[in-house]
Structure 1
Amino acid sequence: MTTGIALLGAGIFAREEHLPAIEAAPSLTLKAVYSRSQKSAEALAAASRDPSSVAVYFDSPAVEGRSLDDLLRRDDVAAVSVVLPILQQPAVVEKAIRAGKHVLSEKPVASTVADAVRLIGWYESLADRPPLWGVAENWRYLESLRYAAQRVREIGGELVAFRLQMYGSIKPDNKYFNTEWRKVPQHQGGFLLDGGVHFVAGLRFLLAAAGQEVKKLAGFSALLNKALIPVDTVHAAAVTGGGQSGTIVISFGMQFKSGTEVEIVTTKGVVSWSPTEVRTVAGKGDGSGDKVEERKEFPYSSGVTKEVAAFADGLAAGKLDAFQSPREALKDLEILQALLESGDGGAIVKDISL
């Protein structure tokens, strides 16, 4: 038995990542798509495996029976995947849940911590087994990141230090940036919020494997690429609940430097992660003081296919994967917002409380 699902949102990410991921899940059947415009909704349906079986819904032009509300009234659609602009998502998530649909919504969970807390609080107040709601963070489903977390746990020891370093350059023709809501952002942080939350999630994932989480940070922000308003770069120092310090660097404005790495240093070794490689250095454990080095490579993956598959499995089980918990996504957002606010205030110290 399969679950009927609708895809809400027709951007590049919806078309190139979520659409094939939904169609790859054996227990999901794509029934409908929705976008703000008829043209974009029809383009999304046309990209599906069987366009004739996918109904199209849109806001503009107004056509009777083709609105989002009409879609949400369909009995054969039990779930929706929401891949809409950041500011639009919370209202659509709430509307879908009120309509009795299970929801997988894109990261970040909302544009601000306050909006996320309100939405999550409303959802958690619902009685009588409400529909399931998960927030998609595909990095938590990267095989390389999970392997790195496994190595952190295997090596063991107490956390000593940590480092998140991401340098990149977003060009004007970047397919993810080249949409009006990203080029002229109305949400805090611009591309730093939209893209940077992935890197925060990756850091949190590996720190959790070491039994720690960020509890305090302070940093500076800058705008290096004038197109990436309001800021595209943060440099920060951070401290865990256990008192260990580390650094966080996220930049989308570096023209001549690129790469992503999260490093976890413990009293027994080091694990360095990038999306396609995990390197470890650890003692032999024989008292000799000699070190063992390991390097493992991984094919590139966005993690979206596994993320959607986990959502489908959760629907079948009646309980979603803990990694898709809205509160897990809220913690990512709180750190990212703290980085932005600290930088805006000139390295004011921000406590992480959630």
Structure 2
Amino acid sequence: MSTAGFAILGAGIFAKEAHLPALLALGSDAPPLRAVYSRSEKSSHEFSDAAAAMGLTPAPAIYHDGDPSMDLDALLARTDITAVAVVLPITLQPSIILKALAAGKHVLSEKPVAPDVAGGISLIKTYDEKYRKNLVWRVAENFEAEPGFRAAGEAIAAGKIGKVVFFKATVRNYIDVENKYYKTPWRTVPDLDGGVHTIAALRTMLPEPLTHLSSFASLNHEYLKPHDTIHAVVKAGSHFHGLVELSFGFPSKTTPAADGFVITGTEGWLTVNSAKGVLRVVIKRTVKAEGKPTEEVEEVIEHRAKGVEAEFASFFDATVGKTTLDIGDPLEALKDVAFIQAGLNSGGELVDLGQLVSEGK
């Protein structure tokens, strides 16, 4: 790995609880973390202290908006920092991504790619026209990188359940006003953050892309407005369809065991569920032998959740020209945003997702 340095722009909960452990796990496969930027000096200090406490030493230098000599421009002017991760509130991210690219830095930006489809299209166009030739920009969608979801996709591609005929994704969460993420701008500012993980997981597993949806959205808790729930009927590829239920407005912390993913094929079915940091894939395949009853064969695949670590590793490899996992493409991440935007706005009308991604409306 190159000795070039790395910086994290944003010092919130996810940066501390997900990014720092991922960098620690990568060890020498990650460039040194040289700096952290936050709008507030306090959060930058706390992040730097947390990094040092984990063993990421020397502690990253602190940058913040309170001191013009140590602000974001000063950080981006450093020649020993060649790449940054952007972990800021979603409405701020596009301008910071462009600022970092203009400063000649490779960029890994947290999902979603932009607050809406139109903004994402504009951002990708600018990257393609001005920066793609020399700089790497990837979107950090950790569900796309999760080994469990990738293993499920590989099993489906290998024909272990036959030809996919329908699917269901169910995610129900209880979010109250004491939730640590609810109290941050990631949740208190209306955006499309919620739900893109689920769509990225489907995108990773299904053999063909989602093409159309018809949905209804609702609000069950006023503090989660404008919406906290989407129910959608979805068409995918040329021949199969499914149901997607996304809710952050469940009434209880205890949710039904039916949450997760079920993908059904002509010769079996597959489920994916998460528990205690492990993604568990169960494959049931029907086996027919002439003159004998049909039998079911079960295969279980389990992977520790390490999507953030995997997306970092792939990004760092890409910045030094190494072959990487096919993850983090901004255009693919835009498809996830398009689904959520369409799900919120459909009102029962059929939405062409391909047209939305290409035209922004």
Fold agreement, TM-score > 0.5? yes
**Cα distance in 2 for residues equivalent to 1:251 and 1:293:** 33
Aligned to 2:273: 274
**Cα distance in 2 for residues equivalent to 1:241 and 1:331:** 14
3-state secondary structure, aligned to 2:309: helix
Aligned to 2:195: 196
Aligned to 1:173: 178
Bigger drift between 238-247 and 314-323 goes to 314-323
Q: Confirm or deny that 1:241 pairs with 2:242.
A: no
Q: 1:177 to 1:238 in 2, by over 3 A?
A: same
Question: Does the 8 Å CA contact 2:190/2:226 hold for their aligned counterparts?
Answer: no
Q: Deviations over 1:118-155 (max 9, x none)?
A: 00001101268321100000011222212211221231
Q: Confirm or deny that 1:110 pairs with 2:110.
A: no
**Cα distance in 1 for residues equivalent to 2:231 and 2:190:** 23
**Cα distance in 2 for residues equivalent to 1:213 and 1:136:** 20
Q: 1:207 to 1:76 in 2, by over 3 A?
A: same
Bigger drift between 310-319 and 294-303 goes to 294-303
Q: 1:225 to 1:261 in 2, by over 3 A?
A: same
Deviation at 1:52, TM superposition (A): 4.7
Q: 1:127 to 1:197 in 2, by over 3 A?
A: closer
**Cα distance in 2 for residues equivalent to 1:131 and 1:213:** 27
Question: Does the 8 Å CA contact 1:314/1:321 hold for their aligned counterparts?
Answer: no
- Say which of 137, 141, 155 aligns to 1:137: 141
Q: 1:128 to 1:269 in 2, by over 3 A?
A: closer
- Say which of 206, 215, 222 aligns to 1:219: 215
Q: Confirm or deny that 1:327 pairs with 2:328.
A: no
Q: Deviations over 1:180-212 (max 9, x none)?
A: 4522x143xxxxx2131000111111113xxx2
**Cα distance in 2 for residues equivalent to 1:128 and 1:117:** 15
Aligned to 1:206: 205
**Cα distance in 2 for residues equivalent to 1:313 and 1:285:** 45
Deviation at 1:51, TM superposition (A): 6.0
**Cα distance in 1 for residues equivalent to 2:161 and 2:321:** 33
3-state secondary structure, aligned to 2:222: coil
**Cα distance in 1 for residues equivalent to 2:186 and 2:169:** 27
Q: Confirm or deny that 1:67 pairs with 2:67.
A: no
Aligned residues: 340
Q: 1:321 to 1:100 in 2, by over 3 A?
A: farther
Letter in 1 for 2:203: R
Q: Confirm or deny that 1:56 pairs with 2:62.
A: yes
**Cα distance in 1 for residues equivalent to 2:218 and 2:131:** 45
Q: Confirm or deny that 1:159 pairs with 2:164.
A: yes
**Cα distance in 1 for residues equivalent to 2:318 and 2:186:** 32
Bigger drift between 293-302 and 118-127 goes to 293-302
Letter in 2 for 1:56: I
Q: 1:127 to 1:38 in 2, by over 3 A?
A: closer
- Say which of 148, 151, 155 aligns to 1:147: 151
Question: Does the 8 Å CA contact 2:77/2:103 hold for their aligned counterparts?
Answer: yes
Deviation at 1:297, TM superposition (A): 5.7
Aligned to 1:190: none
**Cα distance in 1 for residues equivalent to 2:247 and 2:240:** 23
Map of 1:85-124 to 2, 5 A cutoff? 85-124=89-128
Letter in 2 for 1:89: Q
Question: Does the 8 Å CA contact 2:286/2:295 hold for their aligned counterparts?
Answer: yes
**Cα distance in 2 for residues equivalent to 1:119 and 1:270:** 38
Question: Does the 8 Å CA contact 2:89/2:185 hold for their aligned counterparts?
Answer: no
- Say which of 248, 254, 261 aligns to 1:252: 248
Question: Does the 8 Å CA contact 2:270/2:283 hold for their aligned counterparts?
Answer: yes
What runs of 5+ residues in structure 1 fail to find an aligned partner? 188-192
**Cα distance in 2 for residues equivalent to 1:289 and 1:38:** 69
Q: Deviations over 1:69-91 (max 9, x none)?
A: 11000000000010000000000
Deviation at 1:310, TM superposition (A): 1.5
Q: Percent sequence identity over matched residues?
A: 37
After superposing on structure 2, the runs of 4+ consecutive aligned residues of structure 1 that deviate more than 6 Å are: none
**Cα distance in 2 for residues equivalent to 1:167 and 1:186:** 19
Question: Does the 8 Å CA contact 2:269/2:283 hold for their aligned counterparts?
Answer: yes
Deviation at 1:299, TM superposition (A): 5.8
Q: Confirm or deny that 1:348 pairs with 2:349.
A: yes
Q: 1:289 to 1:65 in 2, by over 3 A?
A: farther
Deviation at 1:330, TM superposition (A): 0.8
**Cα distance in 2 for residues equivalent to 1:228 and 1:302:** 29
What runs of 5+ residues in structure 2 fail to find an aligned partner? none
Aligned to 1:39: 42
Q: 1:64 to 1:226 in 2, by over 3 A?
A: closer
**Cα distance in 1 for residues equivalent to 2:115 and 2:163:** 35
